[in-house]
Amino acid sequence: MNPVVQAQVRKHFEQRLRLKGDASALDDADPLFSTARLDSLDAVETIMFVEEAFGIDFAEINYDLTLLDSVSAIAHLVEQRSSMRAA
């Protein structure tokens, strides 16, 4: 996976978690929405971040919250969508 993408996503999630007073360690594979560390407002903010930062239009894909549940999940989504655009 692209380390630059992972760093951007990690920073986004760390900011969202800090806003909630959550200073716990964050591993790239840690689920965030399915464990309720983040909520639906954070999901909307994350969708907007991914659309703006990586050009992914969630209206074009079958949206599923598991696509956004961790740093690794988003990095995988970005990588997958980038390879589809290149093909």
Residue recorded with tokens 């093909």: 87
Residue pLDDT, tens place only, 17-70: 999 999 999 999 999 999 999 999 999 999 999 999 999 998 888 888 999 999
- Domains for the chain: give ranges and CATH numbers: 3-19+28-86 (1.10.1200.10)
Count other Cβ atoms within 10 Å, centred on residue 78.
Answer: 21
Which DSSP string corresponds to the chain?
A: --HHHHHHHHHHHHHHHHHTT------TT--STTTTSS-HHHHHHHHHHHHHHH---TTTS---GGGGSSHHHHHHHHHHHHHHHH-
State yes or no: pLDDT of 75 exceeds 70.
Answer: yes
Rounded to an integer, what distance in angstroms lies between the CA atom of residue 31 and that of residue 13?
Answer: 11
Per-residue confidence band for 87, with pLDDT thresholds at 50, 70 and 90: low
